[in-house]
Amino acid sequence: MSRWTAIVAPILFLGVLLGIWEALCRLLGVPNYFLPTPSEIAVALWQNAGLLFVSASRTLQSALIAFAIVTVLANLAAVGAAYSRVAEASFRPIAIALQVTPTFALAPLFAVWAGVDHPERAILALAVVVAFFPIYSGSLAGLNSVDPELERLFDLYGASAWQRMIRLRAPSAIPQALEGEKVGLGLSLIGAVVAELVSGSGSTEGLAWRIVEAGHRLDIAKSLAAVVALVILGAALYLVFQALERAALNWWRGP
C-alpha cells in the first residue's frame, strides 16, 4: 500500500461516514438538541474556536505537567526495580493495582482530597496515576532486555553499576521506554480530562468543562465541537511524539 493510499483512504472513509450522518439526520428530522449534523458541529467549532483553543491549552498544560512528573517518578521506580528483585517484587502489586483500577473510580476521591478550591491538584494527581504504569513497565522491560553477551563483556572489564546503567542498560532501554512514554502521554491527557469532568468546577475551564457546560444547556453542537477539539489535541500530541520518537530512534541506531 502506497503512502498516499494510507492517507487518502481513511479521509474518504471518514467523509462517507459524515455524509451518511448528515443525510440521516436531515431525512429523519433529528432535532439538533439530540444529535446535531456534522455541518452544525463544524459551525459551532468555528464560532467557538477561540474559546476552545484557550480551554485546549489549559487541558494540554495540565496533561504535559503531569506527564513530566510521572516520567521522572516512573523511570526512577523502574531503575530501582531493575537493580533489585526485592524492590521489583515489592512494587509490582502497587503498579498492577494502578493499572487495573478504573480511572472514574479514583477521580471522585482525588477531587475530594484536592478540595473544591484546588481542582488543578486533582487533575495533575489523577493524570500522574493513570499514566504511571505504561511508562514504568516500558522502562523496566527495556532495562531488563540487555543482551547477556554484553552483560558478560561488562563483567569482564569490571564495569561499575553506574557505568552499566549509563553505557549499557539505559541505551538498550530506549525503544521500549519510548513506547511506554507514548502510551503514558495519551493516558495523561485522558486522566486530566476525566478529572476535569468529575471535579465539576469551572475554575479549570478545560475542554472537559466546555463539554459538560454545553451539555447542561442542551447545546449539543457546541459540546461535540469541544469533543472534536479534544480529538484534534490528542491526535496532535500523538503525531508530535511519534516524530520525536522516530528522531530519537534514528539517533539511537546511528548512521
Name the pLDDT band for 255 (thresholds 50, 70, 90). low
Name the pLDDT band for 65 (thresholds 50, 70, 90). very high
b/e code 13-29 from CB counts within 10 Å (16+ = b): eeeeeeeebeeebeeee
Residue with the three cell numbers 439538533? 32
CA 61 to CA 66: how far, in whole Å?
9
pLDDT of 69 over the 70 cut = yes
pTM of the model: 0.83
Instruction: Please give the pLDDT value at position 247.
Output: 84
The answer to which of 47-56, 179-188, 201-210 has the lowest mean pLDDT is 201-210
| Mean residue pLDDT across the chain | 82
Dump pLDDT digits (tens) for 152-168. 777 776 766 777 777 77
CA 13 to CA 19: how far, in whole Å?
10
Instruction: Please give the pLDDT value at position 101.
Output: 77
Nearest alpha carbon to residue 187 among 72, 75, 63: 63
Q: What are the chain's domains?
A: 51-253 (1.10.3720.10)
CA 130 to CA 134: how far, in whole Å?
9
CA 222 to CA 209: how far, in whole Å?
12
Dump pLDDT digits (tens) for 110-150. 777 777 677 778 788 888 888 888 898 888 888 888 777 77
Dump pLDDT digits (tens) for 188-209. 888 888 888 876 555 567 888 8
Instruction: Please give the pLDDT value at position 72.
Output: 92
